Amino acid sequence: MKNEKLQFKIKNFKTLPSTNQKAKEIAKEKLEAWLIIVAEEQTAGYGRKQASWYSPLGGLYFSVVLPKSNIEDLQTLTILAAFIVAKVIKANFALEPLIKLPNDILLNDKKVCGILTENVIGKDVRFSVMGIGLNTNIKEFPKELQETATSLKIELGKQVNNLEILKQIVEGLNDQLKGISE
Amino acid sequence: MKLKLRIKGKEYQVEILEERNEVKIKIGDKEFSFEKEEKEEIAIAQVSFPKRNFSKKEIKAPIAGIISEILVKEGDFIKKEQKVLLLSSMKMENEIVSDFEGRIKEILVKKNQEVKEGDTLIIF
């Protein structure tokens, strides 16, 4: 997968505890910006304050290793990521996403996407990863989540193409980061 | 205490006499006396200030936020790059790793405490 500006490298995993965790492990060994870690399911997906993120097969779970940036730009990027995901949802489907800044996207008042940026900092920012969990093809949620979570499949009544959505989000992120880091 | 000093080929007799509050140094027929305590204090003040600046090992908050987790204890020996605490900030989670290796002398923050940028968190 590529656009004019960069080559995305994607590492696919069947199952991972967490894509952010894996991305951090890999970046600690060797920092490679724009490496994307994708998992078909997460067994220990999490959001802010270690809140768990329901991540069964069908959803889109990925983390992007970000180029070294200053901390303010990373916050901006997190907010922009929410806009990008909302834009991709709106552009591809007849849905009205609502952005709950800076980390969540809602559809009909229910969470459809969560974003978690994690930075590893010593004297300066060593590296950052941004994890995005998008409930795409999740058929149904467990009872305790039904009031608060939804998926594109539930809202649309049909399957969506995870890879195409992934590609559009990452390209959008890259465009935005170029703009704020220059 | 008597010493012989040779400086640039010339020999000097040096005698150091320590009395209660005074140190006398006789070099040849010249005598220098120093008040002991005062001199020591000045000496410490002069050498310790820059020294402390060079060797001070501490971890400071890189940004303002809330300490969400402390992963080490006082007395722990920490390796370079070891994760020491988590700082929630600007809706991001930040893993703070140590730039030093050493034993932790003091942890100045508690879980859920708010910190400002530059606050000292851990002293080695």
Task: Give the one of A78, A121, A123 whose C-beta lies nearest to B94's C-beta.
Answer: A121
CB contact under 8 A, A74 and B92: yes
Report the length, in residues, of chain B: 124
- Higher pLDDT pick, A99 / B32: A99
Cβ pair B39, B28 in contact under 8 A: no
pLDDT band at B109; cut points 50, 70, 90? very high
Q: What is the CATH number of the domain that holds A82?
A: 3.30.930.10
Q: Are A59 and A151 in contact (CB under 8 A)?
A: yes
Question: Is the residue at A118 inside a domain?
Answer: yes
pLDDT class of A106 with cuts at 50, 70, 90: very high
| Lowest-pLDDT range of A55-64, B30-39, B70-79 | B30-39
Q: How many domains does chain B have?
A: 2
Which residues in chain A are closer than 8 Å to B99, comparing Cβ atoms?
A: 122-123
B112 shares a domain with B65:
yes
Residues of B with CB under 8 A from a CB of A: 62-63, 68, 81, 88-99
User: Is residue B53 a part of any domain in this protein?
Assistant: no
pLDDT score at B30: 80
Domain count, chain A: 1
> In this structure, are B76 and B19 located in the same domain?
no
CA dihedral for A71, A74, A79, A82, sign (positive or negative):
negative
Does residue B117 surpass a pLDDT of 50?
Answer: yes
Domain presence at residue A174: yes
Q: For residue A2, tell me if it sits in a domain.
A: no
Q: What is the DSSP letter of A124?
A: S
Nearest to A85 by CA among A168, A9, A160: A168
Give how far A6 is from chain B: nearest CA, Å. Answer: 26
Environment class of residue B57 by beta-carbon count within 10 Å: exposed (0-12), middle (13-18) or buried (19+)?
middle
Q: Are residues B69 and B101 in the same domain?
A: yes
Spatial neighbors of A19 by CB under 8 A, at least 6 apart, are: A13, A37, A38, A39, A42, A45, A61, A62, A63, A131
Same domain, B25 and B66: no
Assigned domain for B45 exists:
no
Ramachandran region, residue B81 (left: φ > 0; alpha: ψ -120 to 50; beta: rest)? left
What CA–CA distance (Å, rounded) separates A178 from A155?
A: 33
Task: Please check whether residues B70 and B110 belong to one and the same domain.
Answer: yes
CATH number where B85 lies = 2.40.50.100
Cα(A70)–Cα(A125) distance, integer angstroms: 7
Q: Is the pLDDT of residue B122 over 70?
A: yes
- Chosen for mutation from A119, A125, A129, A132 (greatest number of chain B CBs closer than 10 Å) is A119
| Same domain for B22 and B72 | no
* Residue A136 belongs to a domain: yes
The contacts of residue A69 (CB under 8 Å, 6+ apart) are: A77, A125, A128, A177, A180, A181
Q: Is the pLDDT of residue A99 over 60?
A: yes
- pLDDT at A124 (0 to 100): 83
Residue B100 reports pLDDT greater than 70: yes
The DSSP letter of residue A62 is E
The two tokens of residue B119 are 């606050």
Q: Is residue B113 part of a domain?
A: yes
**A to B CB pairs, distance under 8 Å:** 50
With cut-offs at 50, 70 and 90, classify the pLDDT of residue B52. very low
pLDDT at A176 over 50: yes
pLDDT at B47 over 70: no
Q: What is the pTM of this model?
A: 0.75
Q: Inform me whether the pLDDT recorded for A101 exceeds 90.
A: no
* Same-domain check for residues B65 and B105: yes
The verdict on residue A1 lying in a domain is no
| Contact between B97 and B82 (Cβ < 8 Å) | yes
d(CA A45, CA A55): 6
Which ipTM did the prediction report?
A: 0.81
Question: Does one domain contain both B63 and B118?
Answer: yes
Chain B closest CA to A72's CA: distance in Å?
9
Give mean pLDDT, residues A23-31: 93
Q: Residue B43's pLDDT band (boundaries 50, 70, 90)?
A: low
Amino acid B44: pLDDT: 55
Q: What is the mean pLDDT of residues A6-26?
A: 91
Is residue B118 domain-shared with residue B63, that is, in the same domain? yes
Cβ of B95 within 8 Å of Cβ of A102? The answer is no
Domain span holding position B10: 1-39
Phi-psi region for residue B91, left (φ > 0), alpha (ψ -120 to 50) or beta? left
Q: Which residues of A touch B89 (CB under 8 A)?
A: 71
Check pLDDT > 50 for residue B24: yes
What SS3 string covers B79-120?
Answer: CCCCEEEEEEECCEEEEEECCCCEECCEECCCCCCEECCCCE
Average confidence (pLDDT) over B105-111: 95
Pairing of strands B10-18, B2-7: antiparallel
Mean pLDDT of chain B: 82
Full residue range of the structural domain in which residue A103 is found: 9-181
Query: Is residue B78, in this structure, part of any structural domain at all?
Result: yes
